[in-house]
């Protein structure tokens, strides 16, 4: 029997692609011996390198983030290739376009639901590091003498997920205060380079996201933002650390770690979420957590309020393409999780009522102001 040719479409971002590795694993279980191609944006390709469940990588450079027309054009191209026999199955799980209908307050849940088949495998992200990546991270730890510190904190301060708006200046202030009078080191991990006179405040930008997974084995604590670094430490290549997550409760796409962990029965004993992102509160919370995590959790952990603001944007985006079936699906998905919640229905109504005004605003912005 000829193996099935399957394509999985999950283009970006890094955290979303990490979630989607569970779908690749599931496909290999559901379709034994299949040839699985993963379509992914070039800037996220490294996440799935060396993945044992992916046979081929299709790099996509034609679809920018938030470019709905380009995404729909690419989607049509892939389904046309299926009709021509190039692929036997297409699984479009990318968290955009009509797949927004699956959003229920958790990005991972949305992506896994978009597969539309049961997920029976572990949802832990799959990352397979090369020996060179492991060696580079280990050498980084040696060069910065991480073993000599009582605590080594990995700080994800520049998230691409929009979960908070920390900048380098504030991150350095937080780091300086946390390590003051302590034998602690703190690694500020992002793509942004910096230098600091204190050798215990370390620039982690020389390491890739994959290499940072290995670096987590040399760390004792995570100060995170529910973005790529947070989620790669939960992968099978990383080390899940006690963590304080700095979150904005009003972000357009809410994705709190606590909600994700609850949906997938992941223990959250080592998790504190902090919505009050003020310098003094962060410093006091982390300083206490490094000494007595349970006490810090009781004092500082904040429940992320359930809000459905994202739904008004989802409804608008789906209306632009007359995706009424997807809007109905979004309502059903959330009703199954939250019941008949008036706050959710209110956002659906706002989405419909505000759509003409948002559309006019976008037309003016794109067609008129752009020409001036």
Can you give the CATH number for the domain in which 73 is found?
A: 3.40.50.2000
- 114, 144, 162 - which closes a domain: 114
Q: Mark whether 352 and 239 lie in a shared domain.
A: no
Q: Mark whether 84 and 39 lie in a shared domain.
A: yes
CA distances from 105 to 21, 172, 260, 304, 359 (A): 20, 31, 9, 11, 25
How large is the average pLDDT for residues 342-370? Answer: 83
- pLDDT band for position 366 (50/70/90)? low
Given this model, what pLDDT does residue 276 score?
79
In a domain? residue 197: yes
Q: Mark whether 230 and 171 lie in a shared domain.
A: yes
d(CA 201, CA 189): 11
Given this model, what pLDDT does residue 287 score?
96
- 65, 80, 114 - which closes a domain: 114
With beta carbons less than 8 A apart as the criterion, state whether 26 and 34 touch.
no
Q: Mark whether 158 and 61 lie in a shared domain.
A: no
In a domain? residue 124: no
Q: Mark whether 86 and 22 lie in a shared domain.
A: yes
Q: Mark whether 76 and 182 lie in a shared domain.
A: no
In a domain? residue 119: no
In a domain? residue 123: no
- Judged by average pLDDT, the poorest of 79-83, 236-240, 350-354, 359-363 is 359-363
d(CA 79, CA 290): 51
Q: Mark whether 348 and 229 lie in a shared domain.
A: no
With beta carbons less than 8 A apart as the criterion, state whether 19 and 113 touch.
no
Q: Which of 26-35, 62-71, 167-176, 187-196 ranks highest by mean pLDDT? A: 26-35
As a whole number, the mean pLDDT across the chain is 94
In a domain? residue 125: no
Q: Mark whether 97 and 137 lie in a shared domain.
A: no
Q: Mark whether 85 and 173 lie in a shared domain.
A: no
- pLDDT band for position 351 (50/70/90)? very high
- 249, 268, 300 - which closes a domain: 300
Q: Mark whether 88 and 146 lie in a shared domain.
A: no
Between helix 324-338 and helix 342-363 the angle, nearest 10°, is 150
Residue 176 or 159, more confident: 176
The pair of three-digit structure tokens given for residue 111, joined into one six-digit string: 């992506």
When divided into structural domains, the chain yields a total of: 3
pLDDT in tens, 178-193: 999 999 999 999 888 9
How large is the average pLDDT for residues 58-81? Answer: 94
In a domain? residue 65: yes
Q: Mark whether 42 and 97 lie in a shared domain.
A: yes
Percent of the chain whose predicted confidence (pLDDT) is above 90: 85
In a domain? residue 120: no
Which residue, among 148, 37, 34, 173, has the nearest Cα to 92 in the 3D structure? Answer: 37
In a domain? residue 97: yes
When computed from its CA atoms, the radius of gyration of the chain, rounded to whole angstroms, is: 22
d(CA 96, CA 15): 14
pLDDT in tens, 271-316: 999 997 889 999 999 999 999 999 999 999 999 999 999 999 999 9
Q: Please state whether the predicted TM-score (pTM) of the whole model is above 0.95.
A: no
d(CA 241, CA 220): 6
Q: Which domain holds residue 176?
A: 131-300
With beta carbons less than 8 A apart as the criterion, state whether 120 and 26 touch.
yes
Q: Mark whether 231 and 341 lie in a shared domain.
A: no
């Amino acid at each position: 029997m000829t193996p099935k040719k399957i394509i999985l479409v999950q283009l970006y971002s890094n955290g979303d692609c990490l979630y989607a590795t569970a779908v690749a694993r599931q496909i290999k279980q559901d379709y034994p011996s299949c040839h699985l191609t993963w379509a992914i944006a070039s800037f996220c390709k490294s996440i799935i390198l060396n993945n044992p469940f992916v046979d081929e990588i299709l790099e996509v450079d034609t679809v920018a983030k938030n470019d709905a027309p380009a995404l729909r054009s690419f989607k049509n191209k892939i389904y046309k290739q299926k009709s021509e026999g190039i692929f036997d199955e297409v699984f479009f799980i990318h968290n955009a376009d009509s797949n927004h209908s699956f959003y229920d307050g958790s990005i991972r849940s949305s992506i896994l639901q978009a597969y539309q088949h049961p997920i029976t495998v572990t949802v832990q992200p799959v990352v397979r590091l090369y020996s060179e990546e492991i060696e580079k991270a280990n050498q980084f730890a040696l060069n910065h003498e991480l073993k000599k510190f009582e605590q080594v904190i990995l700080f994800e301060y520049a998230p691409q997920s929009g979960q908070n708006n920390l900048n380098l200046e504030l991150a350095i202030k937080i780091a300086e205060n946390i390590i003051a009078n302590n034998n602690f080191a703190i690694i500020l991990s992002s793509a942004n380079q910096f230098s600091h006179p204190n050798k215990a405040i370390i620039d982690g930008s020389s390491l890739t996201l994959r290499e940072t997974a290995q670096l987590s084995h040399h760390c004792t604590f995570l100060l995170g933002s529910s973005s790529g670094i947070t989620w790669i430490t939960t992968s099978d290549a990383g080390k899940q650390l006690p963590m304080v997550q700095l979150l904005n409760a009003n972000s357009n796409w809410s994705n709190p770690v606590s909600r994700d962990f609850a949906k997938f029965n992941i223990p959250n004993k080592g998790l504190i979420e902090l919505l009050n992102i003020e310098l003094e509160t962060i410093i006091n919370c982390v300083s206490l957590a490094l000494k007595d995590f349970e006490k810090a959790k009781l004092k500082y952990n904040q429940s992320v309020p359930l809000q459905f603001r994202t739904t008004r944007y989802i409804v608008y985006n789906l209306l632009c393409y007359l995706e009424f079936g997807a809007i109905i699906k979004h309502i059903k998905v959330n009703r199954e999780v939250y019941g008949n919640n008036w706050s959710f229905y209110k956002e659906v109504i706002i989405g419909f009522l505000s759509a003409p005004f948002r559309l006019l605003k976008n037309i003016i912005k794109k067609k008129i102001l752009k020409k001036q």
